[in-house]
Amino acid sequence: MILIALRKGGKNRYGSVLAKEVDCTYSHAVKILQEMEKSRLVNFEKQGRIKTIKLTDNGNKVAESIEKIKEIL
């Protein structure tokens, strides 16, 4: 759901905003995002004290595939 939320947003997003959108705790969202970064699905970009999250090209493809599967179901 985090990948889909990032894709729908279309711009860099904050971890706290994503956590609220997918209804999970901030710490849980961060752990998931760190795993996604290891898999090269998202990139963290530091802007001062704030880290924003952006989908990679591969992450965008995976999010698109997940959306298609949700439509079928």
Pull the structure tokens for residue 55.
Answer: 């989908």
Q: Is the pTM of this model over 0.75?
A: yes
Distance CA 72, CA 53 (A): 28
14 DSSP β-pair partners: 52
Residue 34's contacts (CB-CB under 8 Å, 6 or more residues apart) are none
Per residue in 11-62, pLDDT tens? 778 888 899 999 999 999 999 999 999 999 999 998 888 889 999 999 999 9
Contact between 66 and 73 (Cβ < 8 Å):
no
Domains by residue range for the chain, with CATH? 2-72 (1.10.10.10)
CA 1 to chain CA centroid, Å, is 8
